Amino acid sequence: MNRRTLLASTVAMPALVGCLDGGTDEGETEPDEPTEPPFEIATIDASGSEAGTVRVPQSGRVMVLNFTRTECPTSRAQLSRIADVKVALAEEGYTVDGDDPEIRFCSITNGTRGPDPSDEELAAWFDENGGNWPIGRDETGVCNEYYEIDGFPTMLTVDGTGAVQWRDRSSTSGAIFGTARDALEGGETTQDGDNRTGDNTSETVASWES
């Protein structure tokens, strides 16, 4: 390995480590803590987010889950992509905000592993990077464990029962949009985000990726 390659690898390593699920649990799951859905995510006050809880999953509703970590550069970049998708779905006529949306977005941090920012720090990070939907902590880590999250960011689209319709790491805006729209329309989705419901989504995806 030459010196230039070694230096590049050394610089990249901290960023990579920030996106991996390492470390040890700070505590064990309480005996009465649910290990299967539904899970309660403790949300904070931030752009598009209010202090309280968000349930995962939500009966009769599609959810786009963004498992994220503040020290991961890819997680930061992913927030702006999700924001673009949220806008695009609203332009397509889907309800994405309010008390009874057709699709709900939620960013989730793991309260038992990785960095532990304060609510204010987490909100500032979220706001600065374009987030405007509920964000909160999986305080016991059970939601992360159930969905086998081992790196960040991980994107999931789940139906009203919590079944995973699509899963990917660091997806493009087009892929997230396509899979979210497919889930809303009841269509099938491939792992790379290709939709099977019609040509309109394909044109939108193509415009993002061109």
Residues 6+ apart with CB under 8 A from 61: 101, 102, 103, 104, 160
* Residues 179, 177: Cα–Cα separation, whole Å: 6
Condensed to tens digits (0 to 9), the pLDDT of residues 165-174 reads 999 997 899 9
Largest CA distance in the chain: 57
Residues 6+ apart with CB under 8 A from 10: none
CATH number, span 34-173: 3.40.30.10
Question: Residue 191: pLDDT above 60?
Answer: no
3-state secondary structure 82-118: HHHHHHHHHHCCCCCCCCCCCEEEEEEEECCCCCCCC
Condensed to tens digits (0 to 9), the pLDDT of residues 116-152 reads 999 999 999 999 999 999 999 999 999 999 999 999 9
Question: Residue 11: pLDDT above 60?
Answer: no
Smallest CA-to-CA distance from 165 within 35, 55, 63 is with 63
Q: Where in the chain are the domains? A: 34-173
- What is the pLDDT confidence band of residue 203, given thresholds at 50, 70 and 90? low
For residue 157, report the phi and psi dihedrals to the nearest 5 degrees.
-110, 125
Condensed to tens digits (0 to 9), the pLDDT of residues 69-102 reads 999 999 999 999 999 999 999 999 999 999 999 9
pTM exceeds 0.75: yes
Residue type, 60: G
- Residue 30: the pLDDT is 53
Do residues 110 and 139 make contact, with C-beta atoms less than 8 angstroms apart? no
* Residues 96, 133: Cα–Cα separation, whole Å: 9
- What is the pLDDT confidence band of residue 186, given thresholds at 50, 70 and 90? confident
Position with higher pLDDT, 207 vs 13? 207
- Residue 34: the pLDDT is 75
Q: Two tokens at 21?
A: 């699920």
